[in-house]
């Protein structure tokens, strides 16, 4: 449902100048896709939509360029790689140790990545807790951490 809704959003903004979230909600409804403002706001963030000035002088939503995605992802991974000193998995919780003062940066980097099964992060000064949906997701992400570092 989420994927099809997001694909429809990309289709709509690719074919029409959409200025506001309310306008986008109405256009989605015309295509048989119901959405709340909160859901649409999350979709806009996940799709990394931005507003740009159109030729008509009004602002419209557009999808950010793919190069921006790659650059953004590389920066997030670099922040994570440079701040983490160790990690351990305890059931569905992953505990990450960082250099002093960098747990928040590590969590912010993780929150910006699209990680399957990540429920949320909590940062202290040099320790971060990652809550995963279950042990399976935690073990899989532990392997991803290994490759990131």
Q: Which residue has the tokens 């996940």?
A: 46
* Domain ranges, ordered by start, for the chain: 2-66, 75-148
pLDDT given for residue 137 in this prediction:
93
Q: Which of 1.10.10.10, 3.40.50.300, 1.10.10.60, 1.20.1740.10 would CATH assign to domain 2-66? A: 1.10.10.10
Q: What is the Cα–Cα distance from 29 to 23, expressed in whole angstroms?
A: 10
How many CB atoms are closer than 10 A to CB 61?
Answer: 23
Q: What is the pLDDT of residues 38-95, one digit of tens each?
A: 999 988 988 888 988 887 888 999 987 644 445 666 777 787 788 889 999 999 999 9
CB 52 within 8 A of CB 18: no
Fill in the DSSP letter of residue 2: H
Fold of the domain spanning 75-148:
Gyrase A; domain 2 (3.30.1360)
pTM as predicted? 0.52
What's the average model confidence in pLDDT over 109-138? 91
């Amino acid at each position: 449902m989420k994927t099809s809704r997001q694909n429809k959003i990309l289709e709509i903004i690719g074919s029409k100048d959409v200025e506001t979230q309310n306008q986008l909600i109405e256009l989605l409804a015309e295509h048989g896709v119901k959405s709340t403002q909160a859901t649409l706001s999350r979709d806009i963030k996940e799709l990394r939509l931005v507003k740009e000035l159109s030729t008509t002088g009004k602002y419209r939503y557009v999808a950010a360029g793919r190069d921006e995605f790659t650059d953004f992802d590389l920066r997030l991974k670099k922040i994570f790689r440079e701040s983490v000193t160790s990690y351990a998995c305890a059931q569905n919780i992953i505990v990450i140790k960082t250099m002093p003062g960098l747990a928040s940066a590590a969590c912010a980097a993780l929150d910006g990545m699209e990680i399957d099964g990540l429920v949320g992060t909590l940062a202290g000064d040099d320790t971060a807790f990652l809550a995963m949906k279950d042990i399976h997701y935690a073990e899989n992400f532990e392997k991803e951490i290994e490759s990131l570092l």
